[in-house]
Amino acid sequence: MNFDFRRIQYFVSVANNLSFTAAAREMYMSAQGLNKQIMKLETELGCQLFERTTRKVKLTEEGEKLYDIFDQVVRDYVRGCKDFENFRDTRHYVMKIGYFSGLSREKIIAPIVQYLRGFKRDIIINLQIGEMEQIKEWLSDGVIDMAITNVHAMERWMMNFEMIEIKNQPGYIVTSMCHPLIEKSKVDAKDLAKYPMLISRHLSDMPADSFYKNIKAKEKIYMENFNSLIINLETGPYFAVIPKGFDGNENLKLKYYELPEKMKLNFSTVIMYDANGKFGKTLEDIGDIAEEMDF
């Protein structure tokens, strides 16, 4: 019997989490796409692997047997991939960098990579683009050596890493050019309370006293990625709070309003890394990058 081993990995992830949503997040794919892959595996095997209800996911007898056979196999496979990757990287001095999809490749990412090449001429750069939640997970799990992303002072996860700030800019209230507020030259908290707000998904777990938790809006809608947020923002009766420095913002049909004085919020574009990681010492030595480069 032959089947796609990748689907076995998907199966083991769902079995470990007993949740398609959690497993999809772990495998960096949609829950719908993951479910389709599991259904294809079930078709290949000729049996049902999970009992699915609206409340829970449970392994069938066949699913438990498949899990017993392949759980350790998948663990060994992942460990083997990581061991070989580490071996390869020690020979070729590869640095893995993850960066937030909203940042400009031309204005921010490329200059940083160029600076690193000048600092370490034999370095090989591998870039991974992702959303802020993915960047956080990649760095926490050791998938990347360095992150280039945006953070806020109230984000707790970043306290575990060293941080080099390369740019700091204020947040703005942003709407489409056809928004009902378009005739106003400035907006206040009462204006915002009348309309739904779009927020990046990763900000949903912020402290209760954070900016995003306290702002009053008709509704708060958490978006899975930055592109979805921007497309909905351009075409719907929503508002969001973002800086002007995201990739391509100057070409978007958006209107920017200054935040009311009591709601001021700054965004920091930062390099983050683990001081005890493979490149900890190297990245520590480039701490003055923001002073040497004009971002």
The verdict on 180 and 255 lying in the same domain is yes
> CATH number for the domain including 147?
3.40.190.10
The verdict on 252 and 200 lying in the same domain is yes
Who's near 196: CB < 8 A, 6+ residues apart? 217, 218, 219, 220, 221, 237, 238, 239
The verdict on 163 and 30 lying in the same domain is no
Q: How far apart are CA 103 and CA 148, in angstroms?
A: 9
> CATH number for the domain including 25?
1.10.10.10
User: Is 251 a residue whose pLDDT tops 60?
Assistant: no
The verdict on 146 and 280 lying in the same domain is yes
Q: What is the pLDDT of residue 165?
A: 86
User: Is 253 a residue whose pLDDT tops 90?
Assistant: no
The verdict on 197 and 236 lying in the same domain is yes
In this structure, what DSSP letter does residue 177 have?
A: T
Q: Of 100, 149, 154, which Cα lies nearest the Cα of 266?
A: 154
Determine what percent of the chain is predicted with pLDDT higher than 90: 33
Number of continuous H segments (helices) and E segments (strands) in the chain:
11, 12
Domain count, the chain: 3
The verdict on 84 and 103 lying in the same domain is no
pLDDT in tens, 84-112: 876 766 555 788 999 998 888 888 898 88
CB of 49 closer than 8 Å to CB of 39? no
pLDDT in tens, 201-237: 766 565 555 677 778 899 999 888 888 888 899 888 9
Q: What is the pLDDT of residue 15?
A: 94
Structure confidence at residue 294 as a pLDDT band (50, 70, 90): low
Q: What is the pLDDT of residue 266?
A: 84
User: Is 278 a residue whose pLDDT tops 50?
Assistant: yes
User: Is 256 a residue whose pLDDT tops 80?
Assistant: yes
The verdict on 286 and 140 lying in the same domain is yes
Q: Provide Rg for the chain, Cα atoms.
A: 22
The verdict on 60 and 28 lying in the same domain is yes
CA angle 164–173–187, rounded 5-degree value? 140
In this structure, what DSSP letter does residue 259 have?
A: P
Burial tier of 130 (Cβ tally within 10 Å: 0-12, 13-18, 19+): buried
Q: How far apart are CA 292 and CA 284, in angstroms?
A: 15
**Maximum C-alpha span of the chain:** 67
The verdict on 211 and 288 lying in the same domain is no
The verdict on 160 and 279 lying in the same domain is yes
Average pLDDT value over all residues in the chain:
84
**Listed residues 65, 88, 111: the one ending a domain:** 88
Going by their DSSP bridges, the two strands 172-176 and 254-258 should be labelled as: antiparallel
Q: What is the pLDDT of residue 71?
A: 93
Structure confidence at residue 248 as a pLDDT band (50, 70, 90): very low
Determine what percent of the chain is predicted with pLDDT higher than 70: 85
CA angle 161–166–171, rounded 5-degree value? 95
The range of the structural domain enclosing residue 194 comes to 172-264
Q: How far apart are CA 118 and CA 247, in angstroms?
A: 25
Structure confidence at residue 197 as a pLDDT band (50, 70, 90): very high
The verdict on 136 and 184 lying in the same domain is no
Q: Of 86, 14, 94, 95, which Cα lies nearest the Cα of 57?
A: 14
Burial tier of 63 (Cβ tally within 10 Å: 0-12, 13-18, 19+): buried
Structure token pair of residue 218: 């008709």
User: Is 175 a residue whose pLDDT tops 50?
Assistant: yes
The verdict on 61 and 197 lying in the same domain is no
pLDDT in tens, 54-83: 788 999 999 999 999 999 999 999 888 878
**pLDDT higher at 61 or 243:** 61
Q: Of 221, 218, 252, which Cα lies nearest the Cα of 234?
A: 252
**Euclidean distance between the first and the last CA atom of the chain, given in angstroms as a whole number:** 56
Beta bridge partners of 16: none
